[in-house]
Amino acid sequence: MESRGTKREAGKIEVAEPRNKLPRPAPSLPTDPTLYSGPFPFYRRPSELGCFSLDAQRQYHGDARALRYYCPPPTNGQSPNFDLRDGYPDRYQPRDEEVQERLDHLLRWLLAHRGQIEGGPGWLAGAIVTWRGHLTKLLTTPYERQEGWQLAASRFQGTLYLSEVETPAARVQRLTRPPLLRELMYMGYKFEQYMCADKPGVSPDPSGEVNTNMAFCSVLRSRLGNHPLLFSGEVDCTDPQASSTQPPTCYVELKTSKEMHSPGQWKSFYRHKLLKWWAQSFLPGVPNVVAGFRNPEGFVCSLKTFPTMEMFEYVRNDRDGWNPSVCMNFCAAFLSFAQNTVVHDDPRLVYLFSWEPGGPVTVSEHRDAPHAFLPSWYVEAVTQDLPSPPKTPSPKD
Ligand code: GDP
Ligand code: MG
């Protein structure tokens, strides 16, 4: 074994040049699960600060008009029989995915509410603002073997903003999405239409259009370790029958998945799909995920509720399973890495964090277009609102 002395000697050789002249290795963050298997970190129970809606034209409204109501079929011994392909493609209005919205809708909500945010003055200045979906990708990174990601980060008036950038590979995939995959995406939204009503106490109406511009988004506050978080996520529906009517505990996430027949298929489902479902719903404190299992003809014939807090049990004793502690510890490590990297407070300065499976998270620095993502309407409104410095009387006064 190497003695401490030897290590110091080796170090000495390296510091032959003045320390500050050494080329600094580009900072990076490893993602191997084994590095993050400590105890589960502190995660504050998420509380809802507010919400907003996007309508059929993708227009913002500062209210809950797009919230839908969970209305499962009666459990009278009959199985459901939802045709998920019904209405495709004639009654499908898909959102224009060429439009990069970045954090815009969330920033619009924040601009209207930042004066009234709980946590006392200065809470927001120490917080991280992002979409729930971006945090989901961070949580699953130690186990992800297929898709990389890029996150742009800027600091502005103390707050760290994180906004995803579509990777070139993801863009190619989106533009060459096979027709069957497009239909599968529709089927997920169609399931929501079978399970949700527009008003409490009425039945779902599957005869209408499926318009994926519409969204109800909850805005939540939490904290991971010492990182205060403000994030927003799209919520599928609220359960009017839930024991607690208080958001986010009344919310339900809806998912579809292939019908499974062998123990091997279930095992793979627990290892891969449940990880994504858990990460997405755990972050905002959504307690239940209701899955519709579709047969090869595209009909949902069975439903199963997966309580978010019980999902880990399916892989707890699986050597190739996932571990919530690893997910959360990695996310906390990434947030610390980002906080320590983005030191300059400048909305036009962007640090781009990039990750591809098998490698570490790396970072590059950019200024202005195309990566700057805080819109001028936001930056200007927030800048103008700063307590103005004491005025020196001008000759005209
Ligand atoms: P999710 O957890 O991945 O569903 O994402 P969020 O709940 O954090 O959604 C944040 C915002 O991004 C919402 O307005 C969603 O409608 C929107 N959004 C979600 N997924 C996608 C996507 O794949 N592409 C685009 N362009 N927007 C999305
Ligand atoms: Mg869903």
pLDDT given for residue 9 in this prediction: 35
Q: How far is CA 330 from the centre of its chain?
A: 15
Ligand 1 pocket mutation, candidates 210, 234, 235, criterion most atoms within 8 A of CB: 234
Mean of the pLDDT values across residues 343-351? 98
Ligand nearest to the backbone CA of 236: 2
Mean of the pLDDT values across residues 176-183? 98
> H or E element: which one contains 109?
helix 104-113
pLDDT given for residue 394 in this prediction: 47
Ligand nearest to the backbone CA of 130: 1
Task: Name the residue type at position 248.
Answer: P
Mean pLDDT, all residues of the chain: 93
Which tokens sit at 198? Answer: 């527009």
User: Over the stretch 17-34, which tens digit does the pLDDT of each residue have?
Assistant: 456 667 877 899 999 999
Residue 189 to residue 181: CA distance in whole angstroms: 13
**Residue with CA nearest ligand 1 atom 22:** 97
Residue 252 to residue 242: CA distance in whole angstroms: 10
pLDDT given for residue 390 in this prediction: 56
Residue 322 to residue 271: CA distance in whole angstroms: 7
User: Over the stretch 51-73, which tens digit does the pLDDT of each residue have?
Assistant: 999 999 999 999 999 999 999 99
Which tokens sit at 350? Answer: 């962007």
| Of 191, 204, 171, 238, nearest in space to 81 by CA | 191
Number of residues in the chain: 397
ipTM for the complex? 0.91
Ligand nearest to the backbone CA of 133: 1
| Of 332, 80, 62, 86, nearest in space to 189 by CA | 86
CA of 234 to the centre of ligand 1 (A): 7
pLDDT given for residue 252 in this prediction: 98
Mean of the pLDDT values across residues 76-86? 95
| Of 34, 139, 135, 32, nearest in space to 358 by CA | 32
pLDDT given for residue 16 in this prediction: 45
pLDDT given for residue 8 in this prediction: 33
Residue 268 to residue 392: CA distance in whole angstroms: 69
Ligand 1 pocket mutation, candidates 53, 131, 149, 213, criterion most atoms within 8 A of CB: 131
For the CA of 132, the nearest atom of ligand 1: 8
* Bigger pLDDT: 156 vs 16: 156
User: Over the stretch 318-345, which tens digit does the pLDDT of each residue have?
Assistant: 999 999 999 999 999 999 999 999 999 9
pLDDT given for residue 19 in this prediction: 61
> Residue 237 carries which DSSP code?
E
Residues with CB under 6 A from ligand 1: 97, 105, 131-133, 136, 215, 217, 233-234, 280
| Of 368, 340, 337, 367, nearest in space to 354 by CA | 337
